[in-house]
Amino acid sequence: MFPGQGAQYVGMGKDLYEAYPAAREVFDRADEILGLKLSKICFEGPEEELQQTKNTQPAIAVTSLALLKVAMQESPSLAPRPGYMAGHSLGEYAALVAAGSLSFDDAVRLLRTRGELMQSAGEQNPGTMAAILGLDAVDCEEVCRESGAELCNLNAPGQVVIGGAKGAVVRALDYAKARGATKVIPLSVSGAFHSSLMKPAADGMVQPVATAAIGDPVTPIIANCSAEPITEENSIRHELVDQVCKPVQWSQTVEYLGKQGANTFIEFGPGRVLTGIIKRMLRKSTCINVNDAASVRVEL
Give me the active site residues, please.
Answer: 89, 194
Q: Quick one: angle between helices 53-74 and 91-98, nearest 10? A: 30
Q: Which of 106, 81, 78 is nearest to 94 (CA)?
A: 106
For residue 240, the number of C-alpha atoms closer than 13 Å in the C-beta half-sphere is 32
Contacts of range 280-289, beta carbons closer than 8 Å, 24 or more positions apart: 280/156, 281/156, 281/157, 281/251, 281/254, 281/255, 282/254, 282/257, 282/258, 285/258, 288/264
The DSSP symbol for 1 reads -
Distances (CA, A) of 250 to 38, 117, 247, 269: 28, 23, 9, 16
DSSP 251-293: HHHHHHHHHTT--EEEEESSS-HHHHHHHHHSTTSEEEEE-SG
